[in-house]
Chains A and B, each alone.
Chain A
Amino acid sequence: MSANTSIIMPGERVTLVEDAAKNKRVILGPGLRRLDDKVVASKAGPLRHKEPNTFWVDNYQRRYVPARGDLIIGIVKARAGDLYRVDIGSADMASISYLAFEAATKKNRPDLNPGDLLYARVLNANADIEPELVCVNSNGKSGKLGVLQDGFFFKCSLNLGRLLLRESCPALAALTEELPYEIAVGVNGRIWVKAHSMRETVGLANAIMALEQAGYSEIEKICGNLNGVVQA
């Protein structure tokens, strides 16, 4: 992914994308919209490009807007008949059917209580409907989806979530060298971590939150310091 780091502001016409669109089909990601034959930005940030033909604006954002296929962490808020209402940080509450869990049947309902953390996938989402979640894939297997037990949950910006989910991010690998831990990263700006002791868990959470402010080059330093901080 090449980073073309010129900042574009809302309302600006992005001729780079228009030129690319002359020869081939171009995908406009978040922050870009089409006005007749012009491509105009609607958010402020660096313009990013992924080969071969995807462009988007990488703006800073904390509020999550649900999109189909996203893996998110939600908090179960209430039970409404056959559905659970889950808070995923968007404008609307999401819903998840009790059948959308592995090995769930009408007689064998999942054991979910308000306050439980759920790692789920967004099944259906657009601006006009309430998002729906599932904890199984299309084969009926849950894999890593489902309830997250114990651990520590905190919120961050969407950018940090995406940074951690990148394959090339050294942060998680660097942290693995320091201490054993479990982590779930939701693209809705929510992260869950679990380590052996409370001290380690809190130290880990602080290290990840510090990544939000630090630049890329600082990742090694922050992760390297962790063991010393936890032992002290």
Chain B
Amino acid sequence: MSKTDAESDAKDKLRKMHCKFNPLSRCDGSVMYSQGATVVIAAVLGPIEVKTQNLSIEGSYLECNYRPKAGLPQVKERIREAAIRDVLELAILSEAYPRAKMSLQVQELEDRGSIDACALNAACLAMLIGGLPLKYSFAAVHCIINEKGDFVLDPEESDTLHQRASFTFAFDSVDGDLLLVQTKGAFKIAQFNDIECLCRQASAEVFEFYRSNIAKYHSTREDQPATTIESGHKDLPMET
């Protein structure tokens, strides 16, 4: 894994993540999720009634809405919705509920870098707490190449001012396969490969965050204190 020397601005740790489950009472599952200073609320509803034009006998219809903090949704919000829906379509077990709709709403509360990755992670958490059936969970990680050429994982907004390239990757929890790649800017393929490795390692931390928060949520509502058996789950696949 190529990294520049210790004096560089290279960062290979994700910002601190927090989440709070079910802040909203009228939906089937919701989460307020933050990564550093970027905060997002995601809510899921489903399976619910679907319009006849969207009705499918083979699976559920997936609706995705992303709202920016201020103003009406524009084209870039639609691009985000499409990216989220693409990942969700891969992850959701839509055959379970044909002729129904799964609806995901993402509301941006604060965008201080890595908003795409944050929105995807919040979407995954909302699905996990909402009880929607998934084939696997997924985690998204954002990384940039700054003007000096260093790889900065999960940058703050200030770090991204003069970035050369930006990457968002989404991985699945079972095999670590790539679900989504979004890139912007100029980069070499070797850099792309290195950043993909870096992000894949970081995604393990996100999966661990999901697991520990779900465990904590259940343990506060438990009959007996929940003991998460760490050795029980197989090691997440990582390239080292």
Q: Do A and B bind each other?
A: yes
User: What string of 1s and 0s marks CB contacts (under 8 Å) between B209-240 and chain A?
Assistant: 01100110111111110111100111000000
When C-beta atoms are compared, the residue in chain B nearest to A92 turns out to be: B49
CB-CB under 8 A from A9, the residues of chain B are 128, 137, 173, 207, 210-211, 214, 233
Given contacts A9-B233, A62-B28, contact A215 B173 (CB under 8 A): no
Q: B47 near A91 (CB under 8 angstroms)?
A: yes
Of B78-86, B92-100, B156-164, B188-196, the one contacting chain A is: B92-100
Contacts of A6 in B (CB 8 A): 227-229, 232-233
List the B side residues contacting A65 at CB < 8 Å.
Answer: 47, 97
Chain A contacts to B: CB under 8 angstroms: 3, 5-13, 31, 33, 42-46, 58-63, 65, 90-92, 127-128, 159, 212-216
* B155 proximity list for chain A (CB < 8 A): none
Chain A interface, DSSP helix/strand/loop, else mixed: loop
Say whether A10 contacts B233, CB under 8 Å.
no
A11 touches B174 (CB 8 A): yes
Contacts A9-B211, A91-B47 known; list 5 others, CB within 8 Å: A11-B172, A33-B133, A63-B46, A63-B131, A127-B99
Give 5 nearest A-B pairs by CB, closest first. Answer: A11-B136, A61-B131, A10-B134, A6-B229, A42-B133
Chain A residues with CB below 8 A from B234, complex form: 12-13
A contact residues around B221 at 8 Å (CB): 60, 159, 212-215
B85-113 near A? 1/0 per residue, CB < 8 Å: 00000000100111111000000000000
A60–B131 touching, CB < 8 Å = yes
A-B contact pairs, 5 of them (CB 8 A): A9-B214, A10-B128, A12-B233, A60-B29, A128-B98
Contact B93 A44 (CB under 8 A): no
Q: Give the interface centre of B27, B98, B218 by most chain A CB atoms within 10 Å.
A: B218
Contacts of A3 in B (CB 8 A): 223-224
Best-buried of A9, A58, A59 by chain B (most CB within 10 Å): A9
CB nearest to B229 among chain A residues:
A6
| A13, B93: Cα distance in complex, Å | 16
Partner of A127, one of B98, B214, B219, B220: B98
Closest to B216 in A: A7
Bound-complex Cα distance A229 to B89 (A): 49
Cross-chain contact B220 with A215 (CB below 8 angstroms): yes
Docked pose: A212 CA to B35 CA in angstroms: 28
**Which of A7, A62, A90, A91 sits near B214, CB closer than 8 Å?**
A7
CA distance A212 to B25 in the complex (A): 13
- Residues in B lying within 8 Å of A, measured CB to CB: 27-29, 45-50, 57, 93, 96-101, 128-137, 172-174, 207, 210-211, 214-215, 217-224, 226-229, 232-234
Is the pair A5, B226 in contact by a Cβ cutoff of 8 Å?
yes
Q: Using A92-B49, A159-B221, A215-B221 as known contacts, say yes or no to A8 and B133 having CB atoms under 8 A apart.
A: no
Q: Complex formed: what's the CA distance from A212 to B21 in Å? A: 14
CA distance A159 to B130 in the complex (A): 12
Give which listed residue, B97, B215, B223, contacts A7 with CB less than 8 A. Answer: B215
Q: Which partner residue on chain B sits nearest A160 by CB separation?
A: B221
- The CA of A105 and the CA of B17, in the complex, are separated in Å by 62
Query: Hey, which chain B residues are within 8 Å of A59, CB to CB?
Result: 131
Task: Please pick, from A5, A61, A216, the residue contacting B28 in the complex, using a CB distance under 8 A.
Answer: A61
| A44 adjacent to B97 (CB under 8 Å) | no
Q: Decide: A11 and B222 in contact? CB cutoff 8 A.
A: no
Most chain A Cβ neighbours within 10 Å, of B101, B129, B207:
B129
- Chain B residues positioned under 8 Å from A45 (CB to CB): 214, 218
A208 CB → nearest B CB, Å: 14
Q: A45-B214, A62-B29 are in contact. Are A216 and B222 (CB under 8 A)?
A: yes
State A7–B208 Cα separation when bound (angstroms).
12
Identify which of B46, B174, B217 contacts A60 (C-beta below 8 A). Answer: B217
Alpha-carbon gap, A6 to B227, bound state (A): 6
Q: Enumerate chain A residues within 8 angstroms of B45, measured Cβ to Cβ.
A: 63
In the complex the two chains form, what is the Cα distance from A46 to B218 in whole Å?
8
Contact for A10 among B100, B135, B223, CB less than 8 A = B135
Report A11 CB to chain B, min CB distance, Å. 3
B136–A7 touching, CB < 8 Å: no
CA distance A230 to B173 in the complex (A): 50
Nearest CB of chain B from residue A213's CB, rounded to whole Å: 7
